[in-house]
Chains A and B, each alone.
Chain A
């Protein structure tokens, strides 16, 4: 009688041209939190799809509670005790919390053929208590914050617990990538509570978090499991090494390429303010400089970025570009003045997914590629090809649809677009969110390339480490005001704790 709740034994899966999984095995024991890490393309998502019943393995078996199972649909996987909480949320905002939790399983609450809402809401309330979510079951999900929806999804997964005999396993796919630190802490405390009832597989790119919450960690690379380490014995460094197969230096942030800023002031903010968001922000941005802005949610840094990019108008203060005062009435004004924004929501705001790589890259500067209104395709393709090579974009060709590229490569396409458009100031809003380690390094390399070319960067980093490592100067914001400024020259980086003091 094994302790294993979920086992994957020698599973392989191949697609035309690529072997996605090669003899993968791992097990999840009762009450364990297992970390699963690996770069994009390592095979994690294929493995998850097999566990979720979307694919079937070519070889090998999946066992629940020691019994082999055939999972032919997500519903079957769910009914077998494997519940998946997706990276892209699958909570339907037009339904209530209770309706989402029991979607597809309403027959449990039928009375004379009609759904008994009172009973369903009561059952939902029970599940919500398990995840410490203090909202009413009849609340429409449109009103919930992102983190609350995450919890509803987990409650949905957990609702399996009292309804099937076998032990349940919850697969959490990148659950923290869009959560702020406060919410992540909450999630972790819930996960610790959950260990009594379910086993958890935690998939994430944030290695520090994986180490913080997991008991054991599996590392995947190129379709294989290359390492299994107990969390207590592991370090981020070691994990990185397993993941990328090469040594990770403190040159992760390419500090050695950080150069002191030039003399020319490109952008200047004087007393910028926006009601309800931030007030009295002033700084000077020089060529070749990386200005990092550190702050938690509510500090005003996201709104400041949008104002600087021209997406919103400030209520007070002034902005000057090369000494000229400017009023930015929209993004096109900002671009005309040489300011570009690489947004956090790439797919929604940075790229046209149906456009090809070349089309996306030239989007902001189409005028340069058109004579008398007609686009010169050869010139467009040539320029795009130059940048694909320069930025090492992994794409079959410049005509490939951008929607099909991985996150990191999409980010590079967005960066290339702004370079082609000739911006001088790039505002990077969480540029490495949801991107694997190898691609992150490419992005850091890009930032150094950009600054070496004389552009300036305003950075809203994903982690404080990233902000410190990349920036030459750091602005710390809290509750809408600038609380401190730090110099961060190469070799003389300030300590995390000192910055945190001014952040929270």
Chain B
């Protein structure tokens, strides 16, 4: 009795089970592949449709312009992706971008202050971003308030400081070598695009090859398990917000270079674009799924759509509706992905 044991003895040979597993996996893999590639497919589809309407879409000039429009959003999304992968959210983007832009513009040759430290101004701007990011993470951990609330508050703090420093004045940058960050064209490609590309590479390395990147995914998937495995959850969380702050600050520096100005309103509207791009690209708001590359695709989908609607002459009233539909479709796709997780 003891030896016989269980409900039904005769176990099937290993090969049959392996076969069954492969069959199940193949079906599952197909669906999973489609969902993983869906954002790319959407992007290619968009490009083809727009190109059919207006072949100028594919001209070198326009492609360069698209890259230019995408540069700052990509930089912002790199940081935001880590926070969202962890299952949190960072709503302070606009505040950090504004403050960093204001700080940078006041420290290069400008019409308000006598300071002119040239490219060195980037360092304090990034430091500001890191500091705000650190506060985001630290308050979130210490006060145990949802990241939604702490970052929202921090965003207002950043905007408030920027406004208080300037008092409504717009700083005009006269340092042309600083503006090279936006206007320069090494090898015919705008400098901002090079900076954004570098950011993508750095973010990718962080995501794939560092322990921090691994831990972000683990925390996003299942914080309890991650903690039990010895992952330093609190430290990782704070670091993620710091990184997001630094990327946002870099975005602010690029914006200041792009417009040759620093003012508190320079960040208006960027929060929505950033979050929308991350989600449209396929990173789930619930965390654990996604990647910085997904966010890059997401940014391009948003930018190409906006560009395309103007190229195709779509009435302005319809454009907002189209963008809204895009967000809904992207979220629907993302939701389905989580349903596929093994429930048994």
- Physical contact A–B (CB less than 8 Å): yes
A104 within 8 A of B: yes
Q: Is the CB of B10 within 8 A of A114?
A: no
Chain B residues within 8 Å of A99, by CB: 214, 217-218
Q: Is the CB of A463 within 8 A of B217?
A: no
Query: In the complex, how many angstroms separate the beta carbon of B19 from the nearest chain A beta carbon?
Result: 11
Residue of A nearest to B225 (CB): A90
With A106-B214, A114-B209, A178-B344 known as contacts, the answer to whether A208 contacts B5 (CB < 8 A) is yes
Q: Is the CB of B343 within 8 A of A348?
A: yes
Q: Is the CB of A212 within 8 A of B5?
A: yes
Query: In the complex, how many angstroms separate the beta carbon of B316 from the nearest chain A beta carbon?
Result: 40
Residues A168-216 near B (CB distance < 8 A): 178, 181-182, 184-186, 206, 208-209, 211-212
Q: Is the CB of A142 within 8 A of B340?
A: yes
Residues A454-482 near B (CB distance < 8 A): 462-465
A74 within 8 A of B: yes
Residues A59-106 near B (CB distance < 8 A): 73-75, 78, 90, 92-95, 99, 103-106
With A94-B221, A142-B342, A143-B28 known as contacts, the answer to whether A181 contacts B20 (CB < 8 A) is no
Query: In the complex, how many angstroms separate the beta carbon of B1 from the nearest chain A beta carbon?
Result: 7
A16 within 8 A of B: no
| Complex partner residue of B229 from A104, A206, A465, CB under 8 angstroms | A104
Q: How far is the CA of A178 from the CA of B29 in the complex (A)?
A: 23
| Complex partner residue of B2 from A94, A142, A231, CB under 8 angstroms | A231
Chain B residues within 8 Å of A296, by CB: 8
Q: How far is the CA of A184 from the CA of B10 in the complex (A)?
A: 12
Q: Is the CB of B210 within 8 A of A181?
A: no
> Which one of A93, A232, A234, A500 has the highest number of Cβ atoms from chain B below 10 Å of its Cβ?
A93
Q: How far is the CA of A144 from the CA of B220 in the complex (A)?
A: 20
Q: How far is the CA of A362 from the CA of B8 in the complex (A)?
A: 38
Proximity bits, B130-172, A CB within 8 Å = 1, else 0: 0000000000000000000000000000000000000000000
Interface bracket on B: 35 or more
Query: In the complex, how many angstroms separate the beta carbon of A422 from the nearest chain B beta carbon?
Result: 29
A145 within 8 A of B: yes
Chain B residues within 8 Å of A484, by CB: none
With A94-B288, A103-B231, A504-B10 known as contacts, the answer to whether A145 contacts B209 (CB < 8 A) is no
Proximity bits, A221-260, B CB within 8 Å = 1, else 0: 0000000000110111000000000000000000000000
Chain A residues within 8 Å of B4, by CB: 208
| Complex partner residue of A209 from B6, B17, B220, CB under 8 angstroms | B6
Q: Is the CB of B7 within 8 A of A107?
A: no
Query: In the complex, how many angstroms separate the beta carbon of A153 from the nearest chain B beta carbon?
Result: 10
B234 within 8 A of A: no
Q: Is the CB of A182 within 8 A of B2?
A: no
Chain B residues within 8 Å of A184, by CB: 6
Q: Is the CB of A92 within 8 A of B221?
A: yes
A113 within 8 A of B: yes
Q: How far is the CA of A104 from the CA of B218 in the complex (A)?
A: 9
Chain B residues within 8 Å of A212, by CB: 2-3, 5-6
Query: In the complex, how many angstroms separate the beta carbon of A496 from the nearest chain B beta carbon?
Result: 9
B325 within 8 A of A: no
Q: Is the CB of A95 within 8 A of B11?
A: no
| Complex partner residue of B341 from A106, A142, A181, A209, CB under 8 angstroms | A142
Q: How far is the CA of A106 from the CA of B236 in the complex (A)?
A: 14
Chain B residues within 8 Å of A10, by CB: none
Q: Is the CB of B340 within 8 A of A104?
A: no
Chain B residues within 8 Å of A504, by CB: 8-10, 12
Q: Is the CB of B220 within 8 A of A105?
A: no
Chain A residues within 8 Å of B217, by CB: 92, 94-95, 99
Q: Is the CB of A142 within 8 A of B32?
A: yes
| Complex partner residue of B220 from A94, A231, A298, CB under 8 angstroms | A94
Residue of A nearest to B227 (CB): A74
Q: Is the CB of B230 within 8 A of A211?
A: no
Q: Is the CB of A143 within 8 A of B29?
A: yes
Chain B residues within 8 Å of A382, by CB: none
Q: How far is the CA of A212 from the CA of B2 in the complex (A)?
A: 5
Query: In the complex, how many angstroms separate the beta carbon of A233 from the nearest chain B beta carbon?
Result: 10
Query: In the complex, how many angstroms separate the beta carbon of B50 from the nearest chain A beta carbon?
Result: 33
Residues B77-105 near A (CB distance < 8 A): none
| Complex partner residue of A103 from B209, B218, B343, CB under 8 angstroms | B218
Q: Is the CB of B9 within 8 A of A500?
A: yes
> Which one of B214, B220, B289 has the highest number of Cβ atoms from chain A below 10 Å of its Cβ?
B214
> Which one of A106, A144, A348 has the highest number of Cβ atoms from chain B below 10 Å of its Cβ?
A106
Chain B residues within 8 Å of A78, by CB: 229-230
Chain A residues within 8 Å of B14, by CB: 186
Q: How far is the CA of A103 from the CA of B224 in the complex (A)?
A: 13
Q: Is the CB of B210 within 8 A of A208?
A: no
Q: Is the CB of A93 within 8 A of B342?
A: yes
| Complex partner residue of B226 from A103, A148, A186, A462, CB under 8 angstroms | A103
Residue of B nearest to A500 (CB): B8
A283 within 8 A of B: no
Q: Is the CB of A105 within 8 A of B221?
A: no
Residue of A nearest to B337 (CB): A142
Proximity bits, B1-40, A CB within 8 Å = 1, else 0: 1111111111110100110110011001100100000000
Q: Is the CB of A209 within 8 A of B5?
A: yes
Q: Is the CB of B3 within 8 A of A107?
A: no
A110 within 8 A of B: yes
Chain A residues within 8 Å of B12, by CB: 182, 504
A370 within 8 A of B: no
Q: Is the CB of A464 within 8 A of B18?
A: no
Residue of A nearest to B10 (CB): A504
Chain A residues within 8 Å of B32, by CB: 142-143
B222 within 8 A of A: yes
| Complex partner residue of A75 from B229, B340, B341, CB under 8 angstroms | B229
Q: Is the CB of A115 within 8 A of B7?
A: no
Residue of A nearest to B290 (CB): A94
Residue of A nearest to B341 (CB): A93
Q: Is the CB of B228 within 8 A of A90?
A: yes
Query: In the complex, how many angstroms separate the beta carbon of A311 from the nearest chain B beta carbon?
Result: 14
Q: How far is the CA of A178 from the CA of B342 in the complex (A)?
A: 13
Q: Is the CB of B228 within 8 A of A74?
A: yes
A117 within 8 A of B: yes
Q: How far is the CA of A185 from the CA of B221 in the complex (A)?
A: 31
Q: How far is the CA of A75 from the CA of B227 in the complex (A)?
A: 8
Chain B residues within 8 Å of A73, by CB: 230
> Which one of B7, B214, B226, B343 has the highest number of Cβ atoms from chain A below 10 Å of its Cβ?
B7
Q: Is the CB of A95 within 8 A of B218?
A: yes
Query: In the complex, how many angstroms separate the beta carbon of B146 from the nearest chain A beta carbon?
Result: 19
**18 residue pairs A–B, Cβ–Cβ below 8 Å:** A78-B229, A90-B224, A92-B226, A94-B289, A95-B221, A105-B230, A106-B214, A117-B209, A142-B32, A143-B28, A143-B29, A145-B21, A146-B342, A178-B344, A208-B2, A232-B2, A500-B9, A504-B8
Give the interface of B toward A (CB within 8 A): 1-12, 14, 17-18, 20-21, 24-25, 28-29, 32, 205, 208-211, 214, 217-218, 220-222, 224-231, 288-289, 340-344
Ordered nearest first, which 7 A-B pairs have the shortest CB separation? A75-B230, A104-B230, A104-B229, A114-B209, A92-B221, A90-B225, A212-B5
